[in-house]
Amino acid sequence: MSETCRITGPRGAIECGPGRPLVVIAGPCVLESEETNLEIGRAMAQACAAGGLPYVFKASFDKANRSSAGSPRGPGVDAGLAALAALRKALGVPITTDVHLPEQAAPVAEVVDVIQIPAFLCRQTDLLTAAGKAANHFDRAVNVKKGQFLSPREMSGPIGKLGAAGCRNLMITERGTFFGYHRLVNDFVGIGELLAMSGTGNSRPAVCFDATHSVQTPGTGDTTGGRPEFVPLLARASVAAGVHAVFLECHPEPTRAQSDASTMLSLAQAVALVKSLARLAAARGQ
């Protein structure tokens, strides 16, 4: 790993880390129709470009941890990777998606620029090892989300496993910590600890803040609830605190989103938020 997380996109590399521009990772939770994916990606790419912020498109080909077995999961790995490859070409921006099984890591790394490890799976050694090896082989980055059940210091475990597997470009994402039942809280002292955390070879992973998953109210029914009205507040606070990247999920019509509808920002809200985050990043000197 190095002092920054390098994301090699279709139009060159993005450096995410101290002293670099704030990176915005945004998109629908799960892959939607081609028209909707492109609408979201183009709007966010334009908003980020206007604010001088690098942009990474995010969407999942499979959501394996849905609250209900009847909830939509996505198109699956083969169709999903084909869709992501087409989006990468059409949008001209880096792409990220998550993996749930070790055998998915290599085929995903052939297509996307950032391999994402879901929070619930952040301690799975075989998955981390496979992702780290695939990232090293294909010159990709890995974004591992901090489990809601882990302290910041415990993220040294996943970081060490990825480093041992050869991962040189690493990002860790804060997405809230369990506070009893049905509630997540965000510990900004903990974010400071993540920012100060050293990885393999005394290098530091980039730190991302997931603003939309942080407002979830887990376990409140067949679908996860949320309080999206607080997403802008948390996103702005995280940028002021010094994070290197912000993660958002957005949709033209959030109530019709196939996943995470209860925490989605509307596309218009996300565009407006990016403008304010760009001003904050400029004010803090990043």
CATH code for position 190? 3.20.20.70
Q: What per-residue confidence (pLDDT) applies to 74? A: 78
Write down the pLDDT at residue 67.
Answer: 55
Domain range for 154 is 21-281
In a domain, 286, yes or no: no
* pLDDT value of residue 201: 47
- 15 lies in a domain? no
Within-domain flag for 4: no
Residue 10 within a domain:
no
- pLDDT digit of tens for each residue in the chain (286 aa)? 457 899 999 999 999 999 999 999 999 999 999 999 999 999 999 999 999 999 999 999 987 665 556 666 778 999 999 999 999 999 999 999 999 999 999 999 999 999 999 999 999 999 999 999 999 999 999 999 999 999 999 999 999 999 999 999 999 999 998 888 888 899 999 999 999 985 544 457 999 999 999 998 876 666 678 898 999 999 999 999 999 999 999 999 999 988 888 889 999 999 999 999 999 999 987 6
- pLDDT (0 to 100) of residue 52: 97
Tokens for 203, please give them: 């290098």
Give 142-194 pLDDT, tens digit per residue. 999 999 999 999 999 999 999 999 999 999 999 998 888 888 899 999 999 99
The strand pairing partners of 262, in sequence order, are: none
Give the Cα separation of 185 and 208 in Å (integer): 16
Q: Is residue 55 domain-resident? A: yes
Q: Output the 3-class SS for the chain.
A: CCCCEEEEECCEEEEECCCCCCEEEEECCECCCHHHHHHHHHHHHHHHHHHCCCEEEECECCCCCCCCCCCCCCCCHHHHHHHHHHHHHHHCCCEEEECCCHHHHHHHHCCCCEEEECHHHCCCHHHHHHHHHHHHHHCCEEEEECCCCCCHHHHHHHHHHHHHCCCCCEEEEECCEECCCCCEECCHHHHHHHHHCCCHHHCCCEEEEECCHHHEECCCCCCCEECHHHHHHHHHHHHHHCCCEEEEEEECCHHHCCCCCCCCEEHHHHHHHHHHHHHHHHHCCC
pLDDT reported for residue 200: 46
Query: Is 5 inside a domain boundary?
Result: no
Q: C-alpha angle 279/209/161, rounded to 5°?
A: 140
What pLDDT sits at residue 71?
Answer: 63
**Structural domains counted in the chain:** 1
pLDDT at 117: 98
pLDDT digits (tens, 9 = 90+) for 261-274: 888 999 999 999 99
Residue 202's pLDDT is what? 45
pLDDT number for residue 275: 97
- Asked if the structure places residue 223 within a domain, the reply is yes
Question: Is residue 7 included in any domain, yes or no?
Answer: no
